[in-house]
Amino acid sequence: MKTALLFGASGLVGGHLLNELIKENYYSKIKIFVRSEPKISDPKIEIIRTDFNNLQNHKEDIKGDDCFLCIGTTKQNSPDKNEYRKVELEMPKEIAQIAKSNSINSFVFISSGYADPKSSGDYLKFKGQVEEELKSLNFTRLGIMRPSFLMGNRKEKRIGEKIGILVFKLLSPLLLGPLKKMKPINSEIVAKAMIKAANENLEINTFESNEIVELVLN
């Protein structure tokens, strides 16, 4: 039985992932790293109140078998450029580096479709730079999920994203070939794929939206 580490349990995918981890027989313990006490409780869960500005203080806590990283923010929630960079780039890289130093075997990260370290936009650029860092650390198993529009009930309102999802759902029948990765995806499917990526020896480590669906179905 393994220990899972989960960062971002309060988010859209992270919430589904926590529920899936509780149900999974792979894991006897789930460490969740949070700023405030979550409402969910289960015998498997160990809650670690985390100072994300001083992650080195939690180095002894960041020990286990499989690490799942679902943290992220938006320009709306983090209008300060330095804070946005910290959450989207510096924090994920530091968590991964600590995980590697503690010999964690599997690391699974939610990136984004079209992530690119050379992108002109901060969001895709930071996601791409985190991907590069993860690949350089040589985890035994690495899963990089690149969902397009995520479907599910978010706690905060994202009007632009909702419009995008509606448009792409209407266009889905036309999204064929290389455009398949643009199809919206259910956040619960992403959560299930993350667990599979952490527990199976897969030929690839980066999954576009359509490949995430295929991973769960196969």
Is the pLDDT assigned to residue 166 strictly greater than 70? no
Overall domain count for the chain: 1
Domain boundaries, position 9 = 2-217
pLDDT for the residue numbered 74: 82
- % of the chain exceeding 90 in pLDDT: 67
pLDDT for the residue numbered 159: 53
Work out the mean pLDDT of the chain and round it to a whole number.
Answer: 87
Predicted confidence (pLDDT) per residue in 117-131, tens digit: 999 999 999 999 999
- % of the chain exceeding 70 in pLDDT: 85
pLDDT for the residue numbered 50: 96
Is the pLDDT assigned to residue 98 strictly greater than 60? yes
Contact assessment for residue 13 and residue 190, using Cβ atoms and an 8 Å cutoff: yes
Is the pLDDT assigned to residue 202 strictly greater than 60? yes
pLDDT for the residue numbered 168: 45
Mark residue 12 as left, alpha or beta (left: phi above 0; alpha: psi -120 to 50; beta: remaining). Answer: alpha
pLDDT for the residue numbered 148: 86
Q: Assign residue 171 the CATH number of its domain.
A: 3.40.50.720
- Mean per-residue pLDDT for 110-139? 95
Predicted confidence (pLDDT) per residue in 7-66, tens digit: 999 889 999 999 999 999 999 999 999 988 777 889 999 999 999 999 999 999 999 999
With a CB cutoff of 8 Å and minimum separation 6, the contacts of 59 are 98, 101, 102
